[in-house]
Copies of this chain bind each other. A is one copy, B any other.
Amino acid sequence: MNDRVSDDSTKDRILDAAESIFAEKGFKGSSVRAITEKAGVNIAAVNYHFSSKTGLLEAICDRRLIPLNKLRSERIKGILSEAEKSKTTPRTKEVLRAFIEPTMKLKETEPGAKDFIAFIGRAFNDPDGTARDVFLKFMKPMAELLYRALSAALPDMPKELLFWRLQFAMGAFGHTMQGDMTGALKAFGIEADTKVSPLEMLLDFMTAGMESTYK
């Protein structure tokens, strides 16, 4: 019953391969044959270790999303209790940063995670119900905490407006996560000098959007 000997090798190879292929082709677009070939394992291994293709998807989310959301939650809860202690209001940008920064960091540090980030960026709008449902299941508590923290940061904003703006912000975030923009950049004849990181640009954009009083 110890699952740390010959188990992982195969399991992890499948997880790594699936992560990368899902990122490129989406859930429906990835065949378990393509995944197992890339992983160098037999096709039956997916159903043996994960019981189904959907089970594999859930395992992928388990491996990355649970630690990621733990990081996010801790940071947001830290901000909330800090604000409560000092009887102030959390800053919108810091709340958003607490949610987004761990994702960007993960993308930079752990190389394989880049594919996963791109994948969830897409899963957010994926036409395929399976991927979206699994993804949303993992994200629900996280989304509620984020919504609560933004409510604290913007206490006077009508809840419906706050909700919509959060949707807009998440749309911007998700779209930024999926794939790299270098191709599009070049198509617009822009040379990237990246003096400012995409993370900071995104946070500026989101914060201004969330706090807007534009008339």
Closest to A210 in B: B205
In the complex, the count of this chain's copies comes to 2
Residues A185 and B171 in contact in the complex (CB < 8 Å), given A127-B24, A127-B29:
no
**Contact A171–B161 (Cβ < 8 Å):** no
**Contact B128–A26 (Cβ < 8 Å):** yes
**Contact B214–A208 (Cβ < 8 Å):** yes
CB distance from A169 to the nearest CB of B (A): 7
**Contact B196–A205 (Cβ < 8 Å):** no
A1 interface hit (Cβ, 8 Å): no
Number of A residues near B (Cβ < 8 Å) is 58
Q: Mark A152-193, 1 if CB is under 8 A from B, else 0.
A: 000000011101110111111111101001001101101111
**22 CB < 8 A contacts A-B:** A24-B127, A25-B127, A26-B127, A121-B125, A122-B125, A125-B175, A160-B185, A163-B190, A168-B176, A168-B202, A169-B172, A170-B175, A171-B171, A171-B174, A172-B175, A175-B175, A204-B212, A205-B209, A205-B210, A205-B212, A208-B212, A209-B212
